[in-house]
Structure 1
Amino acid sequence: TYQGGLFRVVNGRLRRILDNIRIPKPPLVTQMIADTDGSVVFKRGGEYGRIDADGKVSSVVASPDLMEKLEADLARLAAGGRAVDGTTAKPVLRDRTGRVWTAGASGGVTVAGEGETPVPVELPQRGQAYAVNELMEDSEGNVWIASPVNGLVRVRHARVDVLDINEGQNERAVWALTEDHEGTWWIANRRGGLSIWTPNESRYLQISSSRSAAAIFEDKSSRMWVASRDGSVFLYENGVFQPQFVKTQVPSKVRSITQDTKGVLWFGGSQGLASWSGKEVRRFGKNDGVPESDLTVVQPFPGDKIITGGSSGRVLLGNSRGFETIGAPETLNHSWISGILPISAKETWVSTLGSGLHLWDGKKWFSFDTDDGLPDSRLTCVLDDKRGYVWLGSLGGIIRAERAQLLARAKDSNARVQWLRLDHTDGLPSRECIGGYQPAGWRAKDGMLWFPTGSGIARVRPGFVEINKVAPPVYLQSVRANGVLHPDREGPVTTEPGRARLEFRFVGLSYSAPEKITYRARLAGLDDSWRELGTQRVAAFEAVPPGKYTFEVMAVNGDGLRSPSLAKISVLIRPHFWETAWFYALVGALVLFIAVGSGWVAARMRMKRRIHALKIRNAREGERSRIARDLHDDLGASLTEISILAALAAEDAEQSPLQPSLDQLSVKAKHVVGSLDEIVWAVNPREDTLRSLVDYIAAFAREFLDIARIPLRTDVVRDVPELPMATAQRHGVFLAAREALNNIVKHSGATEVHLQISLTEQALGIRIADNGCGFEPDYAAGGNGLGNLKLRMQEAGGDCRIETFRPQGTTVFLSLPLPAPSKPVS
């Protein structure tokens, strides 16, 4: 209510009603109730009115029923801790924990638990008394104060305690801190020196010439070691800082100090790694497995080892015998190692300044970054609260995560990690924690966690951090497709044909920390996984192809609690006609028709070519058959007749001088008859088969060697198939076999010949062996006859191989690959 009127939210805007009062001091609206018909009944002064759903105002008579409802409302307010006198609401509130919030008569608010003294609530003053008109608690436990001067103020329960200059610190900005065995805090300040602090007193110690401390460490003998930023190392004894290692440059420029189980002190810094046993200083270099020259953290590790990390992202593990690299710089994205927390040999947490949190399980590394929901990847330290959580200092606040959830996430990328981030809304004095010096965070003996910041020390009690368990609802605000606003937020959203640019705006509601709400969104049908949007409240998708989609978004509050339900809207991007299913089907049918038609035409053309080739082949074979028949019937008969007549004439003229000529004529005639028979066989198309070739070679060998009176042993395969062969191929193989037999008769002096013809599925093999004199192997390369053998077989598509040794005879191998049997055409 305001100046006798009311404000109503309409379409996201405040609209004033009851503005027709013209008197200087109109009475205030002191009570409102919702009626059963959806209207609102209000009381202003001594009058009553009604506001319907459309915002129309009308007067109402104070009926007994209305008065009963108003009295019941006053009783409800009183039961909730609100004292009401019927005219103005007294600003008193009892919250859900039982504490009473009261507005003072002269301004301000106090709060007190049962039996406690009221404590003033620190409110942002603006130059005058803090008048309060109303107090109210929301569903998340926040208290809201309505002030006519200062507006609306939200009061949250602080989850971070601050130790600042008002409580004894010498300087607000803190570099590093640690707690000694007596519970005294040693705090390194930005301006130099150390603040020694206890709850009862605070004092300042100057190191030397106002040098700032870069590292603080208490050893097992309760001695305090301090490394200054200029490179010196000091030991605090008898109330004085004594410089150490003044006669050596090792250790120097130290950033971190620790001690192993044997009492050896380890120093890491920009000059590398060094150790001090109490008697001897040793520097570790590349020969010791320490290639890193700029170390930032050194910590003890289980098994009497030391683990250290550097500014390049390298992590080393070892002891005085040497070190090994367990984390290469590229594994940790070359990021500054800001903290190392060894829980066990199989669980070591490493924080980095830029690439988030890393886990080493003794064998492998696992990373947790912003893609895994980490609120900020710029981490300054990592602490264990001994309650199952790891706490991280960061440049964006203090972060908490449950170890069990992190370990589950390392095994399963679908496992969820609930992150908690504390910032200025939770009482953090500044946005960022300070890192780069050690210790950059500390767990106190009482379990409280301490974090150095630029505005004091932030302290958190892990067991008392209240989680906002109210899940943030999320709502769609607007949808744009190709720049056009679609007012209907219920959907579906339909776009023009073609690819579209979609833009969705949304908001998640949280009273406690709306600025901490992060969002995850996806366009189902396009995205398989969720997009991490951070605090961005808009999601855009470029060039989305036609189709049906559903946009889904969820909100996550600052404590990691997700929305109870998704905000979603369906989107239909219409396709161009050439992108529709029926167009694809039509084109597919057309392509299929063209393919089938083209195939049919091509097959028909091939068939015509084959028929034409068969006709030519048949005509050629017919002509060859006619020639072979004529040669056999006419020329062969005539030559046979000449041979017979010559033989008869030779018998009648035994003492004639023509006897030798007649004998020679008879032999020549028989030779010509044999040659003519070979020619007839070669040109006859009926003999173009594998069986004919095998039979003819075997028959020729028997006849030829009988004339030469050389015994022949044959080993010829039976059941030779009728595989078709080209005429030239068939004739070439025969000529090669004849050449081999002819060489045996002419040159070998053999007394026996062995002819072997074998057949496999892949090749025809012919082996012709004699027991003659043989010849030198070198002669095989130069002889014309032997060269003709190989040439003929190569022209036929086969191969020839000769084996011979003087005087062991000669073996000729002829091989011819056979074509695969053709499948019958269906």
Structure 2
Amino acid sequence: MQTRLSEILVPVARLLRVLPLLVLGAAPAQGLDPTRDITQFRRTTYRIEDGAPARITDIAQAQDGVLWFGTHNGLFHFDGVRFTRYLGGPGNEIASDDIASLYAPPEGGLWIGFYYGGIAFLKDGRLRSYGAAEGLPGGSVNAITRDLDGTMWIGTNTGTARLVGAHWELTQGPAWNKTSRENVLSLLVDRDGTLWEFTGSRRLGFLPRGSHKFEIYLRGDPDAYVDYRMPLAMAPDGRLWLADPQHGIRPVDRAAEATGNGTPSLSVPVRRQMLFDRDGNLWSAGTDLTRVLAPLPKPPARHVLFEQLELDQGLTFALFEDREGNIWTGSSAGLTRLSPRPLFRALENYRYFALVTDKDGSLWAAAMGAAQRQPLFHVVGGDIVQRAETSGSIVATYRDADGTIWFAYKRVLAQMTDRGLVETDLPDDVTGAGTMAMARARDGAMWVSMLRNGVFRLDGKTGVQNGGIATLPLDTTAYVMANDAQGRLLLGYTDDRFAVVDGTTAKLFTAADGLHVGNVGAFAVRGDRVWIGGEHGLALFDGSKIVALQSETPGLFRQITGIVERAGGDLWIGGGAGIVRIARSEIDMALRDPRYRLKATLFDHRDGLPGTIQQRRPMPSVAETADGKIWFAASNGLAWIEPARIERNELPPPVLIWSVTDANGTALTPAPSLDLPAGTSQIRIAYTANSFTVPERVRFRTKLEGVDTAWQDAGDRREATYTNLGPGTYRFRVIAANNDGVWNETGASLALTIAPFPYQTDWFRGLCAALLLVVLVLLYRLRIWRLRVAVHARLEERIVERERIARDLHDTLLQGLQGLILRFQAATAKIPPHEPARAMMDSALSRADDVLIESRDKVKDLRASTQGLTDLPAEFAEVGATLAQDHAAEFRITVEGTPCELHPIVQDEISLIGREALSNAFRHARARTIEVDLIFDRSELRLRVRDDGCGISEAMLKTGKPGHWGLAGMRERARQIRGQFQIWSNDGAGTEIELRVPASMVYRDAPRRFGWRFRSATA
């Protein structure tokens, strides 16, 4: 099919949009830059119904980044998301809602001029007002500025005034070379420090720095009247420009004006407002917006290139450029922001594009639609030119190794030749609902993928399914096809599958090989690397293995339908999230560390993308041209971006904390620190970041020190709520990143102190803890006392039982035995002395007397042990003295404290333990000295037995001497009376035995003296 002669050199739409005029004395090439066409700025309109203020009179941006709007209905500020009216507070009420002018000095704060007279300065939440009492001249404050020496100047209906100390001085009279009062509309200080003033009669005067006499540049017309608010503007090169209806827009040149020649004005409509942006472009605004493209002619020339944008909000009263380069226009109906955007649109009247580049690197774009014939566009020299119409909707494109471009539509393959499109019908045995993708093998055979019927290799006039290769999935459509660097075929299927076809063999890769992208939707080949994009992710294939890549931002690698790797290694992706750029450095890090998550840049509708990246055929949706541009097929047209010319917003956004609100809805004024009343458990903190290029992309992180251990990702939320807070000191911190991810790491902070109730103080908690401890100790002591009382009760029962036994033995057994002995004695007396029986009976009676005496002694001992013998020291002294008679050791006994009545049973056990210890020392120690210490302490009774003898070996201490139970018996007796028994000894080092018995166990009256016992235990 021959190419149709419908080529257009320059689109009509572009001619209507941009109005280039002949430049006198300069070539047109210096003028229009199509990539900076005014219509390619992202325009955002804020209307009254959206919360924008009405009848905006002036705009200023404070040092902290806050954007302020003066209106006839009050003062407003804006953070990119919400407009808030300034209401002030007690003592800071604004004098009037009718604001005429604003000025933000570099050191911070905001000057506010009022329409009906008066001026105020707002800083750090405090408002200072000036009026007639401070010498302020009457009338509207139309202009505010500051000179290079730091002096504040204002222009009013009655003249110009300056601030001297706290008093305003009207610069009027012969001393100032001004004899009449005029309506001063505009003030400007140039680079030399000269103050310029423009009046309603079109008079332009100036005051050189350090001078007190105004001079005249233009005398104006006393009968004229203009109300232009910004007729003066200074270009970045320092030149001053003037705009008024009589003289037009022209530079201010005192030397030329002195000769009477003046300077020629620009052939641009004069508007009410004028400013130069940071790039030197001149903007003027009225009912529409005009931009004169930089550089402006020098020397001055009349004809320049300019462009216009129709504004739909009425007459513009304010024109402003913020710190990020956004242009703002304010009118009676709302606000408009123009933000430079990286994406540029084309062919917005078409949808569904098939993209392919030719061997020269220029782009061919086929529009797909329902019409019988569809246009085919070609990018020529930066212009999009329609080259042909096809006989059907192109559903697939391909460029083979020879550079030939192929198109597929209906059941037709068409190749672009010098004679135009040459069509070839598909063989009859190639069946399916339509061509999905195509590619050419190294042997020259064309392969096509048919929707719902699989892949076919075209052999002349026949088609062979899967080329006869059994390892390829049968009857399965390959949604994308491509060639790798070796010319092998790449086939992308659904369900994490792709195949590499090499001649008559193929290898199929699946999820088991590491492919986790879902349905494969895009291939991109650069050298030995093959990028694979799909519905659920991104992967890299190096010819042998697959590496899955993860994004730091969830959902960024979804529904990928186009990929381009540039020569520098950066990756550009078109997918469901929009356009994604990944820097080569990020890719290198991910390939070194499989766990690394890529940081990427996203471009979407907020950057000018017309709709969304197309998700279904034709694919791919991304193509790179030789001029460095990358093109994207979107749902509402084409978009292109030039990576080398992307302007990055390098300004960290200023972060502010706007307000703090408690649970009752009470607003608290934030300051470096804030004291909150007792009982505050919930607070809501509103914060913001003043970045306006793409405010929807500003991101925040917050941390409440004292609650959060790490930064919390707040996304685009501008409010944080904390609940269940207790008394104490906290610090709230917030940081933010602008639309390009540049973080303000310092951010803003607010110290919070929540006062405690008395019962929440440390001293109260300490007192409660002490009281609780005392109660627990008392309960514990009470429990121990009760246990000891119970033990003593059982001991008393044992004593009573022993006394009963002693009585019973004495009254029954011993008395009965005594009676029996007497009867046997009587019977024995009747036996003759010489009888052998008499001798036997006498012997038995003698033994019976011994038993009776022994029994009486036992009963006596049993009763004596219940009488509470208290002379334990005397007992040990007697035992020691007796033992010392048979041994050479010296014996000493020491008593400390006052002996008191001991519990009989406990005393018996102590006595037996002491006797055993003394006996062992005298008999086995071979000691020179043996000592006994008896200590009657208030809390316990201690018994120590020491010697300087041969000592006891460690093995003997542990197991005792075989067949002897002295040590074991002493330990058992100590346990029975709840005492602590310890032995310290070693071979040749002597021996020390200590017994410690609690007072409550050993002293007879301890259980009845609970108070004394408690004091003694805690002493």
Aligned counterpart, 1:178: 356
Letter matched to residue 305 of structure 2:
V
Q: Provide the TM-score with structure 2 as the length reference.
A: 0.49
Shift of 1:591: 5.8
1:510 equivalent in alignment to 2:510: no
Matching residue of 1:477:
658
Gaps of 5+ in 1: 166-170, 624-717, 726-823
Judging changes above 3 Å, is the alpha-carbon distance between structure 1 residues 475 and 106 closer, same or farther for their aligned structure 2 residues?
Answer: closer
Structure 2: how far apart are the matches of 1:174 and 1:539? Answer: 43
Q: Which residue of 1 aligns with 2:509?
A: 324
Task: Output the CA distance in 2 between the equivalents of 1:92 and 1:595.
Answer: 83
Structure-1 separation of matches of 2:355 and 2:477: 22
* Residue deviations 1:509-548 (CA, integer Å, cap 9, x gap): 2343334323333333333444444433333345456554
Q: Percent identity?
A: 19
Given the alignment of the two structures, is residue 563 of structure 1 paired with residue 744 of structure 2, yes or no? yes
Cα displacement string for residues 358-395 of structure 1 (whole angstroms, at most 9, x for unaligned residues): 67895663421535xx8796655333233343223355
Offset of 1:463 from its aligned partner?
Answer: 0.7
CA contact (8 A) 1:27 1:45 kept: yes
Q: 1:69 to 1:266 in 2, by over 3 A?
A: closer
2:550 to 362, 367, 376: 367
Q: Does 1:164 align with 2:339?
A: no
User: Mind listing any 5+ residue stretches in structure 2 that lack a counterpart?
Assistant: 1-55, 59-69, 78-84, 87-96, 100-112, 118-137, 179-186, 197-207, 209-232, 250-272, 806-960, 970-995, 999-1019
1:739 aligns to what? none
Aligned to 1:453: 634
Q: TM-score, normalised by structure 1?
A: 0.58
Give me the whole-angstrom Cα distance separating, in 1, the residues matched to 2:161 and 2:680.
Answer: 54
Give the conservation status (yes or no) of the 8 Å contact 2:524–2:532. Answer: yes
Is the CA contact 1:389–1:403 (under 8 Å) kept in the aligned structure 2? yes
2: distance between equivalents of 1:286 and 1:481? 72
CA contact (8 A) 1:225 1:236 kept: yes
- Report the Cα offset of residue 576 of structure 1: 6.5
Q: For 1:282 and 1:574, how far apart are their aligned partners in 2?
A: 80
Q: Deviations over 1:295-341 (max 9, x none)?
A: 644455678776666665x3546544332324799955xx6654454
Following superposition, the deviation at residue 93 of structure 1 comes to: 4.9
Which of 292, 298, 307 is the matching residue for 1:110? 292
**Distance between the aligned counterparts of 2:592 and 2:767, measured in 1?**
49
The counterpart of 2:731, out of the listed 550, 559, 570, is: 550
Amino acid at match of 2:730: Y
Q: Match for residue 385 of structure 1?
A: 566
| 2:648 alignment partner in structure 1 | 467
Match of 2:241 in 1: 83
Report the counterpart of residue 368 of structure 2 in structure 1. Answer: 189
Shift of 1:449: 0.3
The answer on whether the counterparts of 1:520 and 1:555 sit within 8 Å (CA) in structure 2 is yes
- Structure 2: distance between partners of 1:478 and 1:336: 49
Verify the 8 A CA contact 1:80 1:94 in the aligned structure 2.
Answer: no
**Secondary structure in 1 matching 2:533:** strand
- Cα–Cα, structure 1 residues 120 and 360, in superposed 2: closer, same or farther, change >3 Å? same
- Judge conservation of contact 1:297–1:340 (CA < 8 Å) in 2: yes
SS at match of 2:626: coil
The answer to which structure, 1 or 2, has the higher relative contact order (CA under 8 A, 6+ apart) is: 2
Q: In the alignment, which residue of structure 1 is the partner of 2:706? A: 525
8 Å contact kept, 1:103–1:110: no
Letter in 2 for 1:441: V
SS in 2 for 1:122: strand
The reply on whether 1:536 has 2:694 as its aligned counterpart is: no
Q: Does 1:122 align with 2:308?
A: yes
CA–CA distance in 2 between the matches of 1:410 and 1:492? Answer: 47
| Aligned counterparts, 1:682-701, within 5 A | none
- Contact 1:524 1:549 survives alignment (8 Å): yes
Alpha-carbon separation, structure 2, partners of 1:257 and 1:446: 27
What amino acid sits opposite 1:202 in the alignment?
Q
The Cα of 1:450 is off from its aligned counterpart by 0.3
Contact 1:186–1:194 under 8 Å retained in 2 = no
Conserved in 2, the CA contact under 8 Å of 1:550 and 1:568? yes
Q: Hey, what does 2:622 align to over in structure 1?
A: 441
Residues 300 and 288 (structure 1), Cα distance of their counterparts in 2 relative to 1, 3 Å cut = same
Question: Please, what is the CA RMSD of the aligned residues?
Answer: 5.8
Q: Which amino acid in 2 is paired with 1:244?
A: L
Shift, 1:477, TM fit: 1.8
Conservation of the 8 A alpha-carbon contact between 1:82 and 1:94: no
Indicate conservation of the 8 Å contact 1:296/1:436, yes or no.
no
Cα 1:188–1:2 shift into 2, 3 Å: closer
Q: How does 1:358-757 map to 2 (within 5 A)?
A: 362=545, 365-368=548-551, 370=553, 380-394=561-575, 397-405=578-586, 408=589, 419-423=600-604, 426=607, 428=608, 430-437=610-617, 438-495=619-676, 500-544=681-725, 547-563=728-744, 565-573=746-754, 585=766
SS in 1 for 2:194: helix
What is the SS of the residue equivalent to 2:744? Answer: coil
2:455 is aligned to 274
- Out of 145, 154, 159, the residue aligned to residue 42 of structure 1 is 154
The answer as to 2:257 corresponding to 1:73 is no
How far apart in 2 are the matches of 1:195 and 1:450?
18
Q: What is the aligned partner in structure 2 of residue 630 from structure 1?
A: none
Q: How many residues matched?
A: 614
For 2:586 and 2:274, locate their aligned partners in 1 and report how far apart those are by CA, in whole Å: 42
For the Cα contact (< 8 Å) 1:82–1:93, is it kept in 2?
no
Give 1:118's aligned amino acid.
V
Structure 2 letter corresponding to 1:370:
T
The aligned residue for residue 141 of structure 1 is: 325
SS at match of 1:430: coil
Superposed displacement of residue 357, structure 1: 5.8
Distance in 2 (alpha carbons) for counterparts of 1:484 and 1:151: 31
**C-alpha distance in structure 2 between counterparts of 1:243 and 1:613, whole Å:** 116
Deviations 1:416-437 (A, max 9, x none): 97654445564x2524222223
Seen in structure 2, the aligned counterparts of structure 1 residues 267 and 606 have a Cα distance that, compared at 3 Å, is farther
Supply the distance in 1 between the matched residues of 2:725 and 2:780 (Cα, whole angstroms). Answer: 39
Q: Which amino acid aligns with 1:436?
A: R
Distance 1:588 1:475 in 2: 43
| Conserved 8 A contact 1:213-1:226 | yes
Distance 1:441 1:500, change over 3 A: farther
- For the 8 Å contact 1:39–1:53, the answer to whether it is kept is no
* CA-CA distance at 1:185 after TM superposition: 0.5
Residue 123 of structure 1 aligns to a residue in which SS?
strand
Alpha-carbon separation, structure 2, partners of 1:286 and 1:93: 70
Judge conservation of contact 2:376–2:390 (CA < 8 Å) in 1.
no
Deviations 1:463-482 (A, max 9, x none): 11111222221212222232
Q: Label 1:556 to 1:197 Cα distance change in 2 as closer, same or farther (>3 A).
A: same
Q: Which has the larger displacement, 292-301 or 85-94?
A: 85-94
What is the rounded CA distance, in whole Å, between the counterparts of 1:614 and 1:278 in structure 2? 115
CA contact (8 A) 1:478 1:489 kept: yes
Residue matched to 1:653:
none
Q: Is the alpha carbon distance of 1:45 and 1:585 closer, same or farther for their aligned partners in structure 2, counting shifts above 3 Å?
A: closer
Partners of 1:541 and 1:419 lie apart in 2 by 32
- Answer whether contact 2:622 2:631 (CA < 8 A) is retained: yes
Structure 2: which amino acid aligns with 1:246?
Answer: D
After TM superposition, give the deviation of residue 252 of structure 1 in Å.
5.7
- Aligned residue in 2 for 1:234: 413
CA separation in 2, counterparts of 1:521 and 1:385?
Answer: 37
> By how many angstroms is 1:202 displaced?
1.5
Amino acid in structure 1 at the alignment position of 2:346: L
